[in-house]
Amino acid sequence: MKKAFLLGLSIMLVLSFGSGAFGAEKLELGALYPISGGLALLGEESWRGAEIARLVRNEAGGVAGKEIVFIKGDASTPSAARSEAERLVEQKKVPAILGTYSSSRCMAASEVTARKGIPYFELGAIANAITTRGYKTMWRTNPTAADFSKAQVGFITDWYAPELGKKPADMRVSIAHEDSDYGTSVADSFSSLAKAAGVQIVSIEPYAANTNDLSSVIFRLRKAEPDIVVAVSYANDAILLARQAYELKLKAPIMGTGGGHSLQSFADALGKEADGVLNVDFTQYEVNEKFTPGLKEFVALYKKTFNESPRSGHSLANFMGANVVFDILEKTGGSLDPDKIREAAMAVDIAPGNTPTGWGVKFDENGQNVAAAPLVTQWRDGKLVTVWPEDASVMAPMIRK
């Protein structure tokens, strides 16, 4: 994958996007993301990463000489994701779908493709159940909710507790999470892993992501007296939770779980109040470049394509994931036959530190990439910088006073 990725970049940095020299045959893939509704911001950001991968790969000759074409679908809600998957498969005749960013949307849409024996490539949704349902046509390139929770628990026990002068068993942790598949899956994973590590879970606060007041949640969190609050939020509720935590003087720092805590709009909305907020997430852009070969080039491509800087690491994750998909399809000769895809996918073995996200690629029998892991980041002066683990970090973590 690294060779193909770097070839595409070298071509792209010299040439403008244009139509490559292709024959009449095209490789049409469904691209299913929430491009309207409440999740549109991160949905579009995710699509942008996959779109850059498509454009770059087409400049390098496509897949098996075929031009890659995305047939877009709008997964604005879980029910819309299901109906859009039906439309893409039945009416547009796409032989595979990639996407999706949202776990609830992926769960709904991938049930459609699984019944029809059509490959589904998830590049950004993290709910554990996506790759534990026994679907033989389901593949995921990004980390799972359990991976996020493992990183959070590791950071709390290995760095945060010692900095507070406490043992892991003395740490008091609260969880505040939006109540969809995403938030519930992450909260359940974290709670289970934290308890296994001896960490105390002193309260769990689910809430609706579309709420406009989280003051009652904040008051209950204050009453629990946690040392840290693990939050699982989308864009608007991440801002609301942090803002009301500051206004209502919740002393415990917040540690996000991807989603809204990774967006530049989070820092822009909160200003100095964002400083010190932690986040476990996909690879972001302030990271050790030795750990993420090709990241700088991706940022240049993003700016060239969309005339602005990336808004979160979701675009990078989807860029990396789409390239993995294209490499697999190159090995099948452009065939979308599930058996050929499985053979090609199971042969992929890339060590961590060799992709723009820093993730490796190694699929298990369920189609889950087990060589992908999230990183711990922290907002500092309007930038989301990587602080843990040390080999990926650019700055040491700090405890917000």
In this chain, the answer to whether the domains covering 2-143+289-370 and 146-281+376-392 adopt an identical fold is yes
Token pair of 172 as six digits: 């008091």
CA 129 to chain centre: 15
Euclidean distance between CA atoms 44 and 33, whole angstroms: 7
Q: Indicate the SS3 state at residue 15.
A: coil
DSSP 140: E
pLDDT at 231 over 60: yes
90, 119 Cβ separation under 8 angstroms:
no
Confidence of residue 2 (pLDDT cuts 50, 70, 90): very low
pLDDT in tens, 333-365: 999 999 999 999 999 999 999 999 999 999 999
Confidence of residue 75 (pLDDT cuts 50, 70, 90): very high
Query: Nearest CA to 171 among 160, 184, 182?
Result: 160
Query: Nearest CA to 13 among 297, 226, 353, 227?
Result: 297
Token pair of 270 as six digits: 């909160």
Side chain identity at residue 334, one-letter code: G
CA 293 to chain centre: 18
pLDDT in tens, 172-226: 999 999 998 889 988 999 999 999 999 999 999 999 999 999 999 999 999 999 9
Euclidean distance between CA atoms 98 and 106, whole angstroms: 9
Give the percent of the chain with pLDDT over 90. Answer: 89
Does the structural domain 146-281+376-392 have CATH classification 1.10.3720.10?
Answer: no
Name the residue ranges covered by the structural domains of the chain.
2-143+289-370, 146-281+376-392
Residue 14's φ and ψ, nearest 5 degrees, are: -100, -40
**What CATH number was assigned to the domain covering residues 2-143+289-370?**
3.40.50.2300
Average per-residue pLDDT for the chain: 93
pLDDT at 19 over 70: no
pLDDT at 328 over 90: yes
Around 398, how many Cα atoms within 13 Å sit in the side-chain half-sphere? Answer: 13
